[in-house]
Amino acid sequence: MHPFGRRMRIAYVDPNAYPSATPASVQAYSTCVGVAAHVEQIWLLGGRGTSADPAHFYGLPQPTNLHLLWLRCLRRKHGWIRISSSVPFHIFALAALRKLAREAGISVVLTRNLKLARFLLRACRFCALPPVVFESHQIFSDALQEEASRQGRDMSAKIGRLTRLEAEVYREAAGLIVLTEQLATSLTERFVTRGRICVIPDGADRRAALPRAKAAAAGPVTYLGSFHHWKGIEFLVRALAWAPDVRLRLVGGAPEPKARLEALAAAHRVIDRVEFIDPVPPVERWRYLAEASVCVLPLTRSVFGTSFTSPLKMFEYMAAARPIVASDLPALREVLRNGENAMLVPPEDPPALAEAIRRLQSDRALAGRLASHAARDVRSYTWEARGARIVKFLHAAIL
């Protein structure tokens, strides 16, 4: 237990479902497991997910001092449309937090949900609540502006409302946790912040990746995760045209972007070398990593790729001791170093991506050296290490 956390009791509240395979759910649960190693008690308040045991589903142990509290969400049908409202969850969360503050003595509330953070911060004006710390993963208005430009739509009114919402949360929160130095710089330049800001990247569970075998040159090139435009999967598919011997395995993704990528692969006549795997529970991701010859992170020059992201998959690639090819972008360079623990290539450049993949598949000494270095480096990015940094920050900023 961290010396600062011996008497610390924390509530982490998030409307995502638990357990579920959404990245937000995986990240929040893993963070709570890491924090639990350093505090007296922690409660995770969320929506109810599948009936699976969370520890088995996520592949992480549930410490005895981590308590899951499921709160109600409103989901109903209106004709053919399913309506989901976050307002009931917010109200139930507020009632539960007030009870935990009164009966369990929680000293701080953590959340990564922007609207929930604003709701709780406003509630603090009228009722007794512990300080609220916000974990920021992006500047939402910047991300929406970029998406509006990509789609050619005018979203100026919505962007304005979102900017005001963000400004209120960043101004009122007792502390801010961010994933990258790039995001911290953007926040301090753009917003007034009352509380302290601490950069704490994401992580991985090294135990889940063990035992680790050396990557085989014959294995597929592997990508794990969603298929959003800024992830750069289109450039990875196109890269196969410059790498005729490479097989690509894409694990995850929703049906619509998957169909788009299948059409792209067919158009470039590489569909026979692309394998699509439906999304799998977090614990099963390690099996696909164990079979990979190279793991890829082909992010684009987007606001996410450049400044915001601290990808779970990056740390999982490192923990699994797989050689990594990634886009050469500032947010990734905070963890990855070209020629040391990964190969970094210009983003949105299929020939360069193909060349790096082929080099790692042919030069197994280089691949092994990069993978071994990445596996050593990830020791600084375990969930337990992240939890210790969060607890230290909370003690300095709040208590």
In the numeric block, which tokens belong to residue 211?
Answer: 């035992």
The type of residue at 220 is P
Q: What is the pLDDT of residue 343?
A: 98
- The bridge status of strand 74-78 relative to strand 81-85 is antiparallel
Q: Which residue has the tokens 């001791």?
A: 321
- My answer on whether 215 and 159 are in the same domain is no
Are 83 and 77 in contact by the 8 Å Cβ rule? The answer is yes
- My answer on whether 344 and 232 are in the same domain is yes
Listed in sequence order, the residues at least 6 apart from 263 whose beta carbon sits closer than 8 Å to its beta carbon are: none
Q: What is the pLDDT of residue 83?
A: 38
- Angle (nearest 5°) at CA 195 between 192 and 198: 105
- My answer on whether 242 and 345 are in the same domain is yes
- My answer on whether 193 and 228 are in the same domain is no
* CATH number of the domain within which 262 lies: 3.40.50.2000
- My answer on whether 211 and 193 are in the same domain is no
Q: Give CA–CA dist 306/298, Å, rounded.
A: 12
- My answer on whether 224 and 141 are in the same domain is no
- My answer on whether 240 and 267 are in the same domain is yes
DSSP per residue, 285-350: HHHHHHT-SEEEE---SSHIIIII---HHHHHHHHTT--EEEE--HHHHTT--BTTTBEEE-TT-H
In the numeric block, which tokens belong to residue 334?
Answer: 């905070």
Q: What is the pLDDT of residue 7?
A: 82
Listed in sequence order, the residues at least 6 apart from 283 whose beta carbon sits closer than 8 Å to its beta carbon are: 56, 57, 58, 59, 208
Of the candidates 351, 115, 361, 348, the one whose C-alpha atom is nearest the C-alpha of residue 239 is 351
The phi, psi pair for 174, rounded to 5°, reads: -70, -20
- My answer on whether 162 and 19 are in the same domain is yes
The type of residue at 212 is R
Q: How far is CA 244 from the centre of its chain?
A: 32
Q: What is the pLDDT of residue 323?
A: 97
- My answer on whether 386 and 376 are in the same domain is no
Q: How far is CA 106 from the centre of its chain?
A: 26
Report the predicted TM-score, pTM, of the whole model to 2 decimal places: 0.93
- My answer on whether 15 and 162 are in the same domain is yes
- My answer on whether 62 and 130 are in the same domain is yes
- My answer on whether 166 and 253 are in the same domain is no
Domain count, the chain: 2
Are 296 and 237 in contact by the 8 Å Cβ rule? The answer is no
**Residues in the chain with pLDDT values less than 50:** 76-84
* Residues of the domain holding 257: 206-380
